[in-house]
């Protein structure tokens, strides 16, 4: 039985279709005081699969409610987009390691379970789970989509060192050149990038990253690459968080197109991670 949380309904439906499993009917509401209400309108089975991304604090509460409802079952938990993954370290004294705090809150429900994440920002987060946890890679799916665009003399770029492994995987699948840019974060929403010695003139470029949040990183990268003479610049990201006016920012910077997966259900989520999730669930 598959239980789709409110932020992952489309993906849960797709995974259920791939696996031919029943999709439970659920009700999600918000009380007038802002508290969340969840009900699973189905008889729970011995093994259940919960699919819920946690882009907001409320989505995390919905997830805790689903886990509480299913606590008598053995749970496969799929968190396609795991919020707070960028708070994977204590950066300043007095700060929490929120990614660890979230995993710790989920652990009591997963004594007989398993966790599946997708391109988690910091793989060290897997170690905070007390049950088996895996990190599925959506890069090959994004690379397949890029291949269908028929780009010319392609260069795959990582906007920083953090996404180099992802860019290399994509470049090797596409038979393209690969490089990275050096990024300095100026504030929560502003970044600057030092140009790298790479001749992009008249070449098509795809920038690969794990996520686009405010769009600041990608917008700066697009502007820089276009200033260096790149032909068309596309973006490929696993998690399209896209806060505020991120999409406007990206198109104003001159992006040709944005490719992203359905770990978050957005207009740009044209690549489904359902096949890799279904495969992992069949293995487990």
Structure token digits, residue 53: 């991304």
Residue 179: exposure state from Cβ atoms within 10 A (0-12, 13-18, ≥19) = middle
DSSP H/E element including 205: strand 205-212
Helix (H, G, I), strand (E, B) or coil at 242: coil
Question: CB-wise, 138 or 213, nearer to ligand R5P?
Answer: 213
Residue 211 as a binder of ligand R5P (CB under 6 A): the answer is: yes
Residues 123 to 182: which contact ligand R5P by CB under 6 A? 159, 162-163
Does 217 help bind ligand R5P (rule: CB under 6 A)?
yes
- Which residues neighbour 9 within 8 Å (Cβ) at sequence distance 6 or greater? 265
* Identity of the residue, 48 or 213, whose beta carbon is nearer to ligand R5P in the bound complex: 213
Catalytic residue chosen out of the listed positions 89, 92, 183, 283: 183
Phi-psi domain of 175 (left: phi exceeds 0; alpha: psi -120 through 50; beta: other): left
Q: Shortest gap between Cβ of 82 and ligand R5P (angstroms)?
A: 13
Stretch 224-283 residues interacting with ligand R5P (CB under 6 A): none
Given candidates 103, 213, 260, 264, which one binds ligand R5P under the rule CB under 6 A? 213
Torsion angle of the four alpha carbons 222, 212, 172, 142, in this order, in degrees rounded to the nearest 10: -120
Q: Minimal distance in Å, beta carbon 246 to ligand R5P?
A: 7
By beta-carbon proximity to ligand R5P, the closer residue of 50 and 213 is: 213
Among residues 210, 215, 209, which one has the least CA distance to residue 191?
215
Cβ 248 to ligand R5P shortest distance, Å: 13
Instruction: Give the C-alpha separation, 63 to 182, whole Å.
Output: 37
Distance between CA atoms of residues 208 and 211, nearest Å = 9
Cα(159)–Cα(205) distance, integer angstroms: 12
Contact between 6 and ligand R5P by CB under 6 A: the answer reads: no
Structure tokens at 58: 């409320």
The phi, psi pair for 30, rounded to 5°, reads: -120, 130
Q: Closer CB to ligand R5P, residue 5 or residue 216?
A: 216
Q: Which stretch binds ligand R5P (CB under 6 A): 44-52, 137-145, 206-214, 259-267?
A: 206-214
Quote the least distance from Cβ 122 to ligand R5P, whole Å.
9
Pick 210 or 262: Cβ nearer ligand R5P:
210
283 catalytic, yes or no? Answer: no
* Catalytic residue annotation: 183
* Binding positions for ligand R5P, rule: CB under 6 A: 86, 159, 162-163, 191, 209-217
């Amino acid at each position: 039985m598959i239980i789709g949380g409110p932020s992952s309904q489309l993906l849960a439906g797709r995974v259920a279709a791939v696996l031919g499993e029943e999709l439970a009917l659920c009700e999600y509401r918000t009380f007038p005081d802002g508290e969340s209400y969840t009900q699973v309108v189905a008889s729970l089975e011995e093994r259940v699969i919960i699919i819920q991304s946690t882009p907001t604090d409320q989505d995390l509460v919905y997830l805790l409610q689903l886990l509480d409802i299913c606590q008598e079952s053995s749970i496969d938990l799929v968190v396609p987009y795991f919020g707070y993954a960028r708070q994977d370290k204590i950066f300043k004294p007095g700060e929490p390691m929120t990614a660890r705090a979230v995993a710790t809150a989920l652990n009591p429900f997963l004594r007989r379970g398993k966790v599946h994440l997708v391109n988690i920002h910091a793989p060290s987060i897997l170690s905070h789970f007390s049950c088996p946890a895996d990190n599925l890679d959506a890069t090959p799916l994004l690379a397949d989509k890029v291949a269908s665009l028929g780009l010319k003399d392609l260069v795959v770029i990582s906007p920083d060192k953090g996404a180099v492994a992802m860019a290399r995987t994509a470049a090797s699948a596409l038979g393209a050149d690969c490089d990275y840019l050096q990024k300095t974060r100026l504030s929560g929403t502003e970044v600057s990038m030092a140009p790298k010695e790479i001749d992009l003139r008249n070449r098509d470029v795809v920038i690969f990253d794990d996520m686009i949040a405010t769009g600041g990183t990608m917008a700066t990268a697009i502007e820089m690459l276009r200033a260096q003479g790149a032909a068309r610049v596309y973006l490929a990201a696993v998690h399209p968080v896209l806060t505020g006016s991120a999409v406007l920012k990206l198109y104003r910077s001159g992006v040709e197109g944005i490719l992203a997966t359905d770990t978050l259900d957005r207009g740009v989520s044209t690549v489904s991670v359902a096949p890799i999730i279904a495969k992992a669930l069949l293995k487990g």
